[in-house]
Structure 1
């Protein structure tokens, strides 16, 4: 056990506020006291930025939940507690959570072929649903935005020739490696999963399913999820919700799928999503089942060494983040508009843990 994890476990056990509250329509609030550590966190997260050049960190929202209580919340710019913010690729982890409900209902098995639920994938009969969830289906996909837009598969899918039917566009890519062997991050994989969910449910149930299966049981009221012209949810990118509502998904995951006494997500699903995918080629990232994990991989150190090893996250373009630290009972939501490489996940986590009394955790 790492020193950071050991200290945080002792801290959560010793802290008198460790009663596990459940979010109701309104959150229970227990604000953090002012401190130099909290000021350091705010100075990093909400530092002044040159808006003309868009250089530097720009946090739109920062929210921290501990043991189900809202202990810190701050907004900037036009973003407020009532603003449904674009989550970008956090949408992928939201989609995985919706799929977890469907998995618990027996609507699919992880080792089933994608083509069973999405026939346009028939040219790739060996690709399984679990391969898409690991971003390891083996299709040739270029996930670049700013740096190679003319060659970018995701730009074409979202904005040009693929936008009418995004899953079909992704399905048209050729295979370059065997399914389930190599990690290759792909928004196409996520959009095909959204289309496969439609095949599992049928059109009539599909349109409302994220709400009836997940959002409504969690008390999420702000969610919007865009579809492409074919009616398929853009599972890779276009879910919107407030920071408080996104935190509800974090609490659900932090508590292993349990919500107010109901096992909304099966524990088998939680285990799958939080188990590292072992790519045959080394990667700096540690993917799980459409979540990012803080586990050592391929001889590398943990991605965020300042945080306990059980930390996991949903991450999105331009600095969106939902961090979950089960051993400390913590959920952290960050919405942002970072246009450069200034923001550092490890630094934010380090400062946040210190602000909550974790001085000395390295």
Structure 2
């Protein structure tokens, strides 16, 4: 009898433990309880929120859209906690029309560099020539060897930025020691070459498998004047913005490590406080701009939230991320006014109108 009782207790205890383990396993597979919404992969389904649900000032939506149309926009989106609140297209553009990211796509290279480092393929504190060989610049070898992958991420290569967009070795000329000068330059493309060499596959294939396909983006890299430019739909740009709003995470998958991501969106060197790893940073006391060695006092975009970080591209391609407002904002199109490399007065005027809507 005693034996039977002990056997029954053992069976019951085993059953309880098994159920607990099974429940724990199920809980581990379920998405974390987070208010951020992620649209499904390979689908046009994307949940929305209404302006009235958010208690925004609906009367300010049309003036915002009118301003965007007046300023040569092709598309505009606002996500709140990942859900679409505003999505509008202009000038015959649609949700399936591709458009170029220009230098806003630099942050795609940032993300892939972080992924490749996590996989042990590259080290951002190693020389660029460790991956693509010596002679990739026309600098003296001792000066070329000063250029690390980190310098390409932070725009501190010391190479001459006044020679145009050509990134052939003959056009990458020494101007200052790496780390001594901040200058906006397309030499970051050499990081793509480093990743391709280290992964033993093309840049596009590595990009597609490690980032694009994992968050449901569409788009292609197109060669233009010796360097790659990314083209995609506005929603694909918004997906990438959402990944970065969520600190490099998509659902429960940490695609960009938290440590690398955090480093990316903080001041990366002591020359331009408003620059991370190819992300522009608002709310700093000083900033520098492309094609200039001047330092300006004040915040990069005074009308925008101080915690905003942004991917900014030529002719006003924009990804704005404002964690305090739970927003991702996308703008694609032609130059709002004059042709610009990154920041323009359009940023500040646009945020004046976004604030009128959301406050």
Same fold (TM over 0.5): yes
The answer to whether the 8 Å contact 1:139/1:174 transfers is yes
Q: 1:1-362 residue pairs with structure 2 within 5 A?
A: 19-24=35-40, 25=43, 26-33=45-52, 35-47=58-70, 57-119=71-133, 120-121=135-136, 123=141, 124-142=144-162, 152-154=163-165, 157=166, 166=167, 169-170=168-169, 172-187=171-186, 189-202=187-200, 204=201, 206-220=203-217, 222-227=218-223, 234-235=227-228, 238-280=229-271, 286-298=274-286, 300-338=297-335, 340-341=337-338, 344-356=346-358, 358=359
The answer to whether the 8 Å contact 1:75/1:81 transfers is yes
| 1:205–1:186 Cα change, 3 Å | closer
2:24 paired residue number: none
Residue 46 of structure 1 aligns to a residue whose secondary structure is helix
CA drift of 1:35 comes to 2.0
1:51 paired residue number: none
TM-score between both structures, scaled by the size of structure 1: 0.77
1:145 paired residue number: none
TM-score between both structures, scaled by the size of structure 2: 0.78
**Which whole-Å CA distance do the structure 2 matches of 1:72 and 1:127 have between them?**
43
- Which runs of no fewer than 5 residues in structure 2 stay unpaired? 1-33, 287-295, 339-343
**Which whole-Å CA distance do the structure 2 matches of 1:77 and 1:273 have between them?**
35
**Relative contact order (C-alpha < 8 Å, sep 6+): which is higher?**
1
Residue 248 of structure 1 aligns to a residue whose secondary structure is helix
| 1:252–1:340 Cα change, 3 Å | same
| 1:40–1:104 Cα change, 3 Å | same
CA drift of 1:105 comes to 1.4
1:12 paired residue number: none
Residue 208 of structure 1 aligns to a residue whose secondary structure is helix
- Which runs of no fewer than 5 residues in structure 1 stay unpaired? 1-17, 48-56, 143-151, 158-165
| 1:181–1:275 Cα change, 3 Å | farther
**Which whole-Å CA distance do the structure 2 matches of 1:181 and 1:353 have between them?**
38
CA drift of 1:68 comes to 0.9
- What do you get for the CA RMSD once the two structures are aligned? 2.2
Which 4+ stretches in 1 moved above 6 angstroms?
none
**Which whole-Å CA distance do the structure 2 matches of 1:278 and 1:301 have between them?**
18
The answer to whether the 8 Å contact 1:274/1:288 transfers is yes
The answer to whether the 8 Å contact 1:182/1:279 transfers is no
Residue 348 of structure 1 aligns to a residue whose secondary structure is helix
The answer to whether the 8 Å contact 2:64/2:354 transfers is yes
Residue 235 of structure 2 aligns to a residue whose secondary structure is helix
Residue 102 of structure 2 aligns to a residue whose secondary structure is coil
**Which whole-Å CA distance do the structure 2 matches of 1:78 and 1:106 have between them?**
45
**Which whole-Å CA distance do the structure 2 matches of 1:192 and 1:350 have between them?**
37
**Segment of structure 1 superposing worse, 26-35 or 260-269:** 26-35
